[in-house]
Amino acid sequence: MSSAPGTVVVVGSVNVDQVVTVTRHPRPGETLIGTGVEQLPGGKGANQAVAAARRGATTAIVGSVGRDAAADVATSLLAGSGVDLTHLRAVDAPTGFAAVTVGADGENTIVVVPGANLATGAAAVAAAAPVVAGASVVVLQGEIPADGITAAAAAATGRVVLNLAPVVPVPRDVVLAADPLVVNEHEAALVLAQLDGDDPGQAQMGAAETDLVRSLLAHGVRSVVVTLGARGALVGGAHGAGDDLLTVPSPRVHAVDSSGAGDAFVGALAASLAAGTTLAAAVHHAVRVGAYAVQRVGTQPSYPTLDDTLPGAVATDPTRGTT
């Protein structure tokens, strides 16, 4: 893997997703008849790597899979999208698994069993330190052990995109290394509680997104992107400390499946940043990629390549002229 500018290295999870479609989500204790089931590649790390590669970035992934048949499913679209798998290790544990239920309204519930992803700790990341250090953008999430996240942030010499989802306890320095920290509004409240030293139960759930972003910036986070689903995204710190917040609306589309849309956003954001665009321009691009993804079933199969037309007004695409 070259250390040339423009590279994205994702340190994260690789899963198989079992996607069950239902007319509506079951209530506790209720049994429903599903309308379909499918096994697809997934995992936040793999999703984000595929999204970045499909949007033109030279991309590698650092992670772990099992020595099982599920690993072939989990890595199929990584390989097909041109992601460098040199630092994807096979370990003696089952490949990570996610049970995804998708309702007719496109909303989803997800239960993740980490499996082999638990092997992507500090030692595994240390073995891949040269490729992490050589990346223009290093992308991290919360589906691997915290010491792996910490080791990757320490090894990075380029820009760190931290999508702390799920929110797991990490050292304060890791959060402050993020540029940007990418979270949804619920995760933003949990990260803020972590920085305040509060119990997660005291997180400011329901607080205004603008207040959450300003509070995170006040703690010293370099930049913050709060994803807002169909409403788009809110950006703080795009032009340095103290600048006004930027709201980036999402194109209006008919959502079929929202699972993996946040990962499509993060991968596209990383690809744009690696290409040298501003954070504001990268978020505009990422919002359109996320809107494209929710119109299709599944995670990785729903991500656009550079040959696909993104929804929304025609605008300059940081990774490829116009779309």
Q: Which residues of 58-73 are buried (b: 16+ CB within 10 A; e: fewer)?
A: bbbbbbbbbebebbeb
**pLDDT computed for residue 242 by the predictor:** 56
320 assigned to some structural domain: no
Q: What is the H or E stretch that residue 99 is in? A: strand 96-102
Q: Which residues of the chain have pLDDT under 50?
A: 1-4, 314-323
pLDDT digit string (tens) for 219-231? Answer: 999 999 999 999 9
260 assigned to some structural domain: yes
Range of the domain at 193: 7-15+42-95+115-302
**pLDDT computed for residue 1 by the predictor:** 41
Q: State the amino acid at position 289 in one-letter form.
A: V
pLDDT digit string (tens) for 192-213? Answer: 999 999 988 878 888 899 999 9
Pair type for strands 15-21 and 36-42: antiparallel
**pLDDT computed for residue 5 by the predictor:** 65
Q: How many domains does the chain have?
A: 1
31 assigned to some structural domain: no
138 assigned to some structural domain: yes
Q: Which CATH number is 257's domain given?
A: 3.40.1190.20
| Token code pair at residue 206 | 């329901």
Report the phi/psi class of residue 6: left, alpha or beta, with left for phi > 0 and alpha for psi in -120 to 50.
Answer: left
Could you count the other beta carbons within 10 Å of the beta carbon of residue 216? Answer: 27
Q: Which residues are CB-contacts of 29 (< 8 A; sequence separation ≥ 6)?
A: none
Prediction pTM value: 0.91
Query: Do 184 and 219 contact (CB within 8 A), yes or no?
Result: no
**pLDDT computed for residue 106 by the predictor:** 81
Distances in Å between the Cα of 62 and the Cα atoms of 130, 168, 251, 255, 291 are 11, 19, 33, 31, 27
243 is catalytic: no
311 assigned to some structural domain: no
29 assigned to some structural domain: no
106 assigned to some structural domain: no
CA distance 147 to 179: 19
CA distance 233 to 182: 10
Q: Which of 17, 84, 257, 263 is catalytic?
A: 263
| Token code pair at residue 35 | 């309308």
128 assigned to some structural domain: yes
